[in-house]
Amino acid sequence: EAGVAQSPRYKIIEKRQSVAFWCNPISGHATLYWYQQILGQGPKLLIQFQNNGVVDDSQLPKDRFSAERLKGVDSTLKIQPAKLEDSAVYLCASSLDRAEQYFGPGTRLTVT
């Protein structure tokens, strides 16, 4: 089966600019996750969708981060405006309910 797809793979922006990441989960997976992985740390959940509804966004900095999953398939994560501390790898994962999570390749964001 095709894996989780993410784009772009790399992005460099200046602070205060905006950026958006895209994720296409494995077909049929109702649950989609966005994780932030800062260098030297493990992934941290930002937001979890069940179909097109938000299940958990308790660790999403809502003043600058937003995410949507229209139609319950693809998802977009946006940062506006970006800060230096947002430099990280952004991972998308999907799963069938509480089954194994499958991760995408990630998007490496550098904010200068």
Partner 1 sequence: AQRVTQPEKLLSVFKGAPVELKCNYSYSGSPELFWYVQYSRQRLQLLLRHISRESIKGFTADLNKGETSFHLKKPFAQEEDSAMYYCALRGQGAQKLVFGQGTRLTINP
User: Can you give the binding site for partner 1, defined by CB under 8 A?
Assistant: 3, 31, 33, 40-45, 48, 55-56, 91, 95, 97-98, 100-106
Cβ 15 to partner 1 shortest distance, Å: 26
For partner 1, which is the closer residue by CB, 61 or 81?
Answer: 61
Contact between 91 and 37 (Cβ < 8 Å):
yes
CB hemisphere CA count around 6 (13 angstroms): 25
Radius of gyration of the chain (CA): 13
For partner 1, which is the closer residue by CB, 12 or 96?
Answer: 96
For partner 1, which is the closer residue by CB, 25 or 106?
Answer: 106
Alpha carbon of residue 21 to chain centroid: 7
